[in-house]
Structure 1
Amino acid sequence: MSVPADLAERLASIIQQRATNAQMPSLGLSAGLTIPPHQEGVSKRDRAREALAGKSPRELGEIARRLGVHLGDYDLEETGLAVLESDSAPITEITRRDVAKCFGDDLCGQQDPVALVGRLFPIQNLAAEFFSGRSLAREIEQHMVRNPGDWDVEYLFQQIGALTCSRDRFGHLLEAALHPLGRRGPEQIDLAEAINRVLRRDGYILNIEAEESGYPIYRLQPLSRGPTGSPKNLIFASNGPKPEIGFADAINNDIVILSNASSCLVYDRPLKRDGLLWSELVDWWRARPGVDPGDAARTLGLRLRASLASDAERYLFDTYFRLYRPKLKDALPAIIPQVYLHYDPAVVKLLRHRAGLRRQRMDFLQLLPNNQRVVIEVDGAQHFSREGEPSLVAYAEMVSADRELRLAGYEIYRFGSNELVGAGASDMIERFFERLWTLHKINPTTG
């Protein structure tokens, strides 16, 4: 990941300039940065430098992005986003111009283009090209509201910087322009399809992620083979009797544990399209009743480890954290054990009219960026045998379940339990995750 050589120093300077000694800790927290307390003889800049020392490029990029948002500093926010996006495919200027042509001279239908663009670009503070003394906001109003058709959307993109801004900002611009407040029905759908034909050239697409009043809400996402839809329920770390699950609201897919709640965990926060990080899981655990906030990471690790069923699973879990927690820090993807994939409300042995659902739980699940879901299975003898004897039926059931998962968009990786014990196991686990990170563009060296 590339990062401007002076970014840490630039951040230190901004913090120094924008906050008093007393305000610095609060400003730092707004960007996820812990600034040490004031000490006599230590300058504000040196305190900021100390807080920033040792931060990875991704961490510096995220701090710049968050600080830019908090301070309303467009350039700083864009600098941070450029760092965060440097390891993924860009949306080129050629593609952006062709997307603009899809709109013609009407960016947002019934919405106000000045208000829409102003939420994302500092048009009140920018002077329009060739129009000294007049803000870009006034020129957009003049040529796209009072005199529609004077400017086409490609020219607007050029003026506001949409041809060169971060991919994140460009994506939010398209999402806002396609909102049903501005266009509905066939007009909205046809325009989204036209834009998608262009975006696919760079490996992106506007997917329907939700709806409002029956109309689709679009989100820009990379093209991938990941599962369709967004994850909603995460029931995991089962270490006792199977929980009984009901719906608190079946329409909203809100679940409730009716019995045996202590034998599993339910992550009840929204799951983002960027995956689930260990730091986010720890934040969720820290907020639970009875958890010591200062010891949350350790106690969560112990609770998850208690759900593991074999030495091989425990070794994989322990080695993952030993290898990658120091490298990825807050950017470490969570490795979630004993996750319910299917849930059969009946006890299988009581079923008369059908077989129970296979593969109800996964050994480990990772929710990675771009809606990628990675399943890791640790196979003992029970995966290939019945009552101590080799079984083609058991093996067939396993590979059949694998096929269904792969066709649904999951990635599945299997380890034999004997691979995860003894000499060479740690190196083998490291090689696997290094290649997995490369595949998913996660940098374990720099975070």
Structure 2
Amino acid sequence: MARRIHISEMIANKLSNAYTHATLPAIGEEFGLTMPSAADGSSKKERALQALAGKTEYELAEIARDLGRQSRAFGLEEEALAILERNTPAISEITRRDIAKCFGDDLCGERDVVALVKELFPIEMMTFGTFSLRILEEEIQQHMVNFPGDWSVETLFEQIGALTCSIDRFGRLLEAALHPLGRRGPELPILVTAINEVLRLDGYRLAIESELSGHPIYRLGTISRSPTGSPKNLIFASNGPKPEIGLGDAINNDITILSNASSCLVYDKPIGRDGLLWRELVEWWRDLQDHSADAAKDLGQRLHQSLASDAERQMFKTYFQLYHPKLGGALPALIPQVYLHYDPAVVSALRHRKGFVRQRMDFLLLLRDRVRIVIEVDGSQHFSQDGKPSLNVYADMVSADRDLRLSGYEIYRFGSNELVGGQAFGRIESFFDRLWRLYKVTGA
């Protein structure tokens, strides 16, 4: 409670000092706050505190982080990140010092080290030493630009606070230092390998997120069991006969639907760092439907047609009712009936081999950092055969689960009876609230 009050006070002070009564409503709306009227004579701080009332500590921290970053309020942003990173594995000072040693005395190659550091740390307002009259920005210019090699990167990290700052800020510092604007060529992967050898001790790594003109761009993330690589073929929303699939270009793994194309959808756009968001799926559908006027509604209806039970329909409906208003453009797409394994043969016709146990997933979420969440809704067919309990059917299901988990997917199962009746809404809300906290899914 004390920390919640403290962060509220910090936000309110920043808003009241930086904005006028007239501009408070607009800036509040930008951060999801409804500012009360000033007609009753309330001060700007009082109005801000009223708007913040009722927000959870986590919600306040998100507001403080975004406000701090937008207004370059270093202390506010760091206070917020301390809350948001509370359950995040630490990157120790030892690790940070050893990473600094990997750089030697050259943090960012061809980039301007002063400008780079200034984007992340308020060096224009920091003094060098207790009694110095020179600001830290001038000292970095002197010791790392005018006289290269005078300071090591470890000394720089000590002076700017990189040894103790938030993980988020430290990660952004590393990402900027390795950006191809400053570093290219064969020495870059060698440096990244050395840094990753240090980072892995704390459970982190730098991985290639994208490319710029053929050069890698790295992003700091935790080491996880997530599948390697990016999704390439997303075949989903099956609502009819099984589609017949061929390879239009076997070298590029480009698929072609040869028959029954209308019974499924194929998402063919690249899936980026944030996974697959609902707004991206809607934009794809809008283009596919020649700029449909209400693409979101049309797509929702098409996906709804693929749902196989009342329990699945309740899951799908509740998900969007709850989280579309809360998460907005950051809402992950809840993708139904996704082909995981694709067997071109009809299982009932097989004689010489068994078919795949699980060809489709009930729902799939593709989150950032390659996290893939599978949600299964289990009816009696998952553990019975011909109306009788079957250990063989159950064993096939849990065997397929093991294979999927070992491939890096996360699986969550619901009994179909959990998703019908008066308790279903709260059960679904509780599950996704906890899932979003676990994977740091927040609104945008």
TM-score of the two chains, using structure 2 as the length reference: 0.76
Spell out, residue by residue over 1:49-99, the C-alpha distance to the aligned partner (whole angstroms, 9 max, x if none). 232121112221111121122222222222222222122122122221121
Partner letter of residue 139 of structure 2?
A: E
Partner letter of residue 165 of structure 1?
A: C
Deviation of 1:442 after TM superposition, in Å, equals: 6.6
User: For the structure 1 residues 300 and 77, does the alpha-carbon distance in structure 2 shift closer, same or farther, using more than 3 Å as the test?
Assistant: farther
Q: Which residue of 1 aligns with 2:308?
A: 309
In structure 2, stretches of 5+ residues that fail to align are 287-291
User: For the structure 1 residues 58 and 390, does the alpha-carbon distance in structure 2 shift closer, same or farther, using more than 3 Å as the test?
Assistant: closer
Q: Which residue of 2 aligns with 1:217?
A: 217
- Whether the 8 Å contact between 1:30 and 1:70 is mirrored in structure 2 is no
Supply the distance in 2 between the matched residues of 1:238 and 1:39 (Cα, whole angstroms).
56
Spell out, residue by residue over 1:297-356, the C-alpha distance to the aligned partner (whole angstroms, 9 max, x if none). x9988776554311333455567789x869x95499757241524485978589999998
**2:416 counterpart of 1:378:** no
Partner letter of residue 101 of structure 1?
A: K
Supply the distance in 1 between the matched residues of 2:380 and 2:273 (Cα, whole angstroms).
36
Supply the distance in 2 between the matched residues of 1:35 and 1:264 (Cα, whole angstroms).
44
User: For the structure 1 residues 309 and 268, does the alpha-carbon distance in structure 2 shift closer, same or farther, using more than 3 Å as the test?
Assistant: same
In structure 1, stretches of 5+ residues that fail to align are none
Deviation of 1:18 after TM superposition, in Å, equals: 1.7
Q: Secondary structure at the match of 2:219?
A: strand
User: For the structure 1 residues 137 and 47, does the alpha-carbon distance in structure 2 shift closer, same or farther, using more than 3 Å as the test?
Assistant: same
Q: Secondary structure at the match of 2:5?
A: coil
Partner letter of residue 129 of structure 1?
A: G
**2:65 counterpart of 1:65:** yes
Supply the distance in 2 between the matched residues of 1:244 and 1:37 (Cα, whole angstroms).
61
* Equivalenced residues, count: 433
Q: Which residue of 2 aligns with 1:161?
A: 161
Supply the distance in 2 between the matched residues of 1:62 and 1:30 (Cα, whole angstroms).
13
Q: Secondary structure at the match of 2:376?
A: strand
Q: Which residue of 2 aligns with 1:28?
A: 28
Deviation of 1:281 after TM superposition, in Å, equals: 3.5
Spell out, residue by residue over 1:329-385, the C-alpha distance to the aligned partner (whole angstroms, 9 max, x if none). 549975724152448597858999999877443212234565432212123344467
Supply the distance in 2 between the matched residues of 1:70 and 1:266 (Cα, whole angstroms).
35
Supply the distance in 1 between the matched residues of 2:381 and 2:358 (Cα, whole angstroms).
13
- Whether the 8 Å contact between 1:348 and 1:355 is mirrored in structure 2 is no
Supply the distance in 1 between the matched residues of 2:421 and 2:186 (Cα, whole angstroms).
61
- Whether the 8 Å contact between 1:338 and 1:361 is mirrored in structure 2 is no
- Whether the 8 Å contact between 2:338 and 2:362 is mirrored in structure 1 is no
Q: Which residue of 2 aligns with 1:98?
A: 98
Partner letter of residue 6 of structure 1?
A: H
Deviation of 1:172 after TM superposition, in Å, equals: 0.9
Identity over aligned pairs, percent:
56
Pairing of 1:9-408 with structure 2 (within 5 A): 9-36=9-36, 39=39, 41-129=41-129, 132-230=132-230, 237=237, 239=239, 271-273=272-274, 281=278, 289-291=292-294, 307-316=306-315, 329-330=326-327, 334=332, 336-342=334-340, 359-368=358-367, 370-383=369-382, 398=397, 401-408=400-407
User: For the structure 1 residues 285 and 79, does the alpha-carbon distance in structure 2 shift closer, same or farther, using more than 3 Å as the test?
Assistant: farther
Supply the distance in 1 between the matched residues of 2:242 and 2:318 (Cα, whole angstroms).
28
- Whether the 8 Å contact between 1:236 and 1:336 is mirrored in structure 2 is no
Deviation of 1:153 after TM superposition, in Å, equals: 0.9
Q: Secondary structure at the match of 2:216?
A: strand
Partner letter of residue 363 of structure 2?
A: F
Of 120-129 and 300-309, deviating more is 300-309
Supply the distance in 1 between the matched residues of 2:253 and 2:119 (Cα, whole angstroms).
32
Supply the distance in 1 between the matched residues of 2:131 and 2:255 (Cα, whole angstroms).
57
Of 83-92 and 300-309, deviating more is 300-309
Of 300-309 and 57-66, deviating more is 300-309
TM-score of the two chains, using structure 1 as the length reference: 0.75
Deviation of 1:6 after TM superposition, in Å, equals: 2.0
- Whether the 8 Å contact between 1:337 and 1:362 is mirrored in structure 2 is no
Q: Secondary structure at the match of 2:173?
A: helix
Supply the distance in 1 between the matched residues of 2:38 and 2:246 (Cα, whole angstroms).
52
Spell out, residue by residue over 1:220-255, the C-alpha distance to the aligned partner (whole angstroms, 9 max, x if none). 001111122345776655556778999999999999
Structure with the bigger RCO (C-alpha within 8 Å, sep 6+) is: 1
Partner letter of residue 338 of structure 1?
A: P
Q: Which residue of 1 aligns with 2:408?
A: 409
Deviation of 1:173 after TM superposition, in Å, equals: 0.8
Deviation of 1:105 after TM superposition, in Å, equals: 1.6
User: For the structure 1 residues 116 and 351, does the alpha-carbon distance in structure 2 shift closer, same or farther, using more than 3 Å as the test?
Assistant: farther
Q: Secondary structure at the match of 1:148?
A: coil
Supply the distance in 1 between the matched residues of 2:353 and 2:156 (Cα, whole angstroms).
61
Q: Secondary structure at the match of 1:366?
A: strand
Supply the distance in 2 between the matched residues of 1:110 and 1:379 (Cα, whole angstroms).
56
Deviation of 1:137 after TM superposition, in Å, equals: 2.1
Of 403-412 and 36-45, deviating more is 36-45
User: For the structure 1 residues 198 and 67, does the alpha-carbon distance in structure 2 shift closer, same or farther, using more than 3 Å as the test?
Assistant: same
Deviation of 1:170 after TM superposition, in Å, equals: 0.4
User: For the structure 1 residues 416 and 143, does the alpha-carbon distance in structure 2 shift closer, same or farther, using more than 3 Å as the test?
Assistant: same
- Whether the 8 Å contact between 2:247 and 2:256 is mirrored in structure 1 is yes
Of 368-377 and 141-150, deviating more is 368-377
Spell out, residue by residue over 1:254-307, the C-alpha distance to the aligned partner (whole angstroms, 9 max, x if none). 99999967975969796544x67xxx6379769965449xxx8x9988776554
